[in-house]
């Protein structure tokens, strides 16, 4: 078990990619701390993970608040005595809007949620990761590399995560702390399903997203979790400062890739 007894914090760990990471880290022997705002759902997910044999612990946390992020990391270390991996996953993709439709306040709020939270997760976890020679995984997006229409605010926050990843990898290399980013394309999550259900033809909407990928489908949350588990493990001991893209060929070619 490549993550046996490793302690990982996963923000946004109660649904979507974060929950996929929690399940996979647990499968590989890791102890997972899942953090999210919804306490009732968090406790429910904690119980589900524990019933499946995973050492899971839920901590309520609003990642946009400094005191919550400090408390998340301190509570984790108090409970487990260590921290080996910080997965900064929590974030949000707003509806499609052009820049003239986005207020400065909305942009700043998104930066706070998507990017400042990553900064805080890194900043407050680093003292503990230096002790364990652990690692950080920042959940970015493939759109940080290729762009996305009507998403200037979101893409900016995701690109910022990649820049932060590379800078911190240099700063922390001498301490044995690795820092990497993961950049998925389409992932079948409850949020994507919710979006599709709001469309005139949900099935056609999902089919279109599938065909953005050369492999003809979206990733599962667990597939992204496996990439993160690899990066968190000793198998990735010589990988740092990288933005890994498990994106099913979404960045290749022009337009829709899959004609099946």
Question: For the whole model, what pTM was predicted?
Answer: 0.96
Please check whether residue 89 is in contact with residue 22, taking contact to mean a CB–CB distance below 8 angstroms: no
Mean pLDDT, rounded, of the chain: 97
> How many CB atoms neighbour CB 76 within 10 A?
23
Looking up tokens 């065909």, which residue turns up?
211
Specify the pLDDT at position 239. Answer: 99
Q: Which of 80, 154, 200, 254 is catalytic?
A: 154
Specify the pLDDT at position 4. Answer: 98
pLDDT one-digit tens code per residue, 221-245: 999 999 999 999 999 999 999 999 9
- Give 244's strand partners: 182
pLDDT of residue 33 exceeding 90: yes
Specify the pLDDT at position 45. Answer: 99
pLDDT one-digit tens code per residue, 145-197: 999 999 999 999 999 999 999 999 999 999 999 999 999 999 999 889 988 99
Specify the pLDDT at position 191. Answer: 86
Specify the pLDDT at position 258. Answer: 63
pLDDT one-digit tens code per residue, 71-93: 999 999 999 999 999 999 999 99
pLDDT of residue 256 exceeding 70: no
- Give 180's strand partners: 137
Least confident segment among 3-7, 129-133, 193-197, 209-213: 193-197
Share of the chain above pLDDT 70, in %: 98
What is the homologous superfamily of the domain 7-186+220-244 according to CATH? NAD(P)-binding Rossmann-like Domain (3.40.50.720)
Specify the pLDDT at position 253. Answer: 87
**What crossing angle do the helices spanning 202-210 and 190-197 adopt, rounded to 10°?**
130
Looking up tokens 């290729």, which residue turns up?
146
Residues in the chain, overall count: 260
Q: Is residue 154 among the annotated active site residues?
A: yes
- Give CA–CA dist 223/228, Å, rounded: 9
């Amino acid at each position: 078990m490549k993550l046996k007894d490793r302690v990982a914090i996963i923000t946004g760990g109660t649904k979507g990619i974060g929950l996929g990471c929690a399940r996979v880290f647990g499968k590989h022997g890791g102890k997972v701390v899942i953090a999210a705002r919804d306490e009732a759902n968090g406790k429910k997910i904690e119980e589900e993970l524990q019933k499946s044999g995973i050492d899971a612990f839920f901590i309520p946390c609003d990642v946009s608040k400094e005191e919550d992020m400090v408390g998340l990391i301190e509570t984790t270390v108090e409970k487990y005595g260590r921290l080996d991996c910080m997965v900064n996953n929590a974030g949000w993709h707003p509806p499609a809007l052009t820049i003239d439709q986005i207020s400065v306040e909305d942009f700043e709020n998104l930066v706070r949620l998507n990017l400042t939270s990553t900064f805080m997760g890194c900043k407050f976890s680093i003292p503990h990761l230096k002790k364990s020679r652990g690692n950080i995984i920042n959940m970015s997006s493939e759109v940080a590399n290729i762009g996305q229409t009507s998403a200037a605010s979101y893409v900016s926050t995701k690109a910022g995560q990649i820049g932060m990843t590379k800078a911190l990898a240099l700063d922390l290399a001498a301490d044995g702390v690795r820092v990497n980013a993961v950049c998925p394309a389409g992932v079948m999550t409850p949020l994507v399903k919710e979006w599709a259900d709001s469309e005139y033809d949900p099935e056609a909407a999902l089919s279109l997203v599938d065909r953005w990928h050369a492999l003809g489908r979206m990733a599962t949350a667990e597939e992204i979790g496996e990439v993160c588990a690899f990066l968190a493990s000793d198998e990735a001991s010589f990988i740092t400062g990288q933005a890994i893209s498990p994106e099913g060929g979404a960045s290749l070619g022009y337009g829709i890739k899959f004609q099946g």
